[in-house]
Chains A and B, each alone.
Chain A
């Protein structure tokens, strides 16, 4: 399918929007603020890291359902016709525009409904080393899963999002998995097609 105005690649759009249309702040302020949130949660839940994970996820969800409006207003990009396109949109546009990073998309399921994002850099967890007791259970950047879940749901994609591995836990890489459950066709705004 070729739409005439889509001549620009998503990569170019993402980079251009990041560079020219987006105000920025020091990433360390972001890192420090997120660190303050996580450590406060660890204290509040008395180091029950399962609860911390859940809380981070729900914070992310609340962010995601709002953040999607920013993304759409800023880019006004058309709907993705399949998950392959969606994965590129997330990696090359969304991650680029909000966090100035472009995670690699990989590990596709055979049905092309699930893929992984490899986070080589992650401004949320820069300079973080986990304490021993958190190593096994805490998904430090779990807020990201919630954000993706919430944002995708708002554009009528019901997905599961979770971390498979995290460098902070001693894994060799940080892998985030996104799996499409179904397209919420009934909720697609009337008038779009």
Chain B
């Protein structure tokens, strides 16, 4: 099996890896930095997907897909609780992916944008990028001096070269919740959530408030379809080592009759850790 080497300057067909697939029990093929000159380079997908390209689909397309997903899960569920658990599971897998992804994207310097070879997709103009000419955006970076090191075989830049200062994952309960309420919510739904509240009754409980949930805004109250979002939150917090349970509650307030509160209940040891590390 010979791997095709991708020439990024060609358009359309050549852009995509002629993948042979991967063995799902093992996972995608790995390529360590020190074997950068070994022939099997990782598919372009792995580097491309790391940088955020602002792409959108219609809310309708999303709502229809969501609607059909709910209907499918609902048909397969034996009880309301079963339904919520299954729906939660769909979101969970998404949440776990976001911890690393969003942190990494947050670490990319803001001036690293359109000029990047990552972002030039097939339709845009073909910049000659095959020989690592430092004329593109990376030239401004301090580490650009030995740029030969930063390019893979296939000509795409290594993301490691772009990030000079990797932001650490948040370790404090409040910080990670701020991240969910702000960064993650903005990534998913286009704006920060409407509120982040600490429970006055229990130490381990926090609430994220959404006045009009994007995904469920067309679905009348009754069965809670917001468990998908619960799953995303829980997947995110769990894989950031803040194990918790998340539930959704419809709590209308005045005009806002679709207002939804996500209740986050952290495991006890998360609080103990927080106290040990940051407590007074």
Contacts and interface: CB of A to CB of B under 8 A. Distances in A.
Given A25-B189, A127-B45, A66 B65 contact: no
Most buried by B among A67, A123, A173: A67
A27 interface: yes
Interface size band for A: 35 or more
Contacts of B56: 24-27, 100
Contacts of A46: none
A63 B16 contact: no
Interface stretch (A82-90, A131-139, A156-164, A177-185): A131-139
B179 interface: no
Nearest to B95: A32
B200 interface: no
A60 to B, nearest CB: 8
Interface in B41-68: 43, 45, 48-49, 52, 55-62, 64-68
B28 A129 contact: yes
Interface in A97-131: 97-100, 120-121, 123, 126-131
Interface in B3-24: 12-13, 16-24
Contacts of B97: 32
A100 B123 CA distance: 14
- Give chain A's interface secondary structure class: helix
B171 interface: no
Contacts, number: 134
Contacts of A168: 19
Interface residues of B, number: 47
Given A25-B56, A26-B190, A30-B61, A170 B24 contact: no
Interface string B183-208: 00001111000000000000000000
Contact of A127 (B19, B48, B57, B189): B48
B93 interface: yes
21 contacts: A25-B57, A25-B62, A25-B190, A26-B56, A27-B57, A29-B62, A30-B61, A32-B97, A33-B65, A36-B91, A37-B72, A66-B67, A97-B60, A98-B61, A99-B58, A100-B56, A126-B55, A127-B48, A130-B21, A130-B22, A134-B24
Interface of A: 18, 22-30, 32-34, 36-37, 39-40, 59, 62-63, 66-67, 70, 74, 97-100, 120-121, 123, 126-135, 143, 167-168, 170, 172-173
Interface of B: 12-13, 16-24, 28, 43, 45, 48-49, 52, 55-62, 64-69, 71-72, 89-91, 93-94, 97, 121-123, 187-190, 214
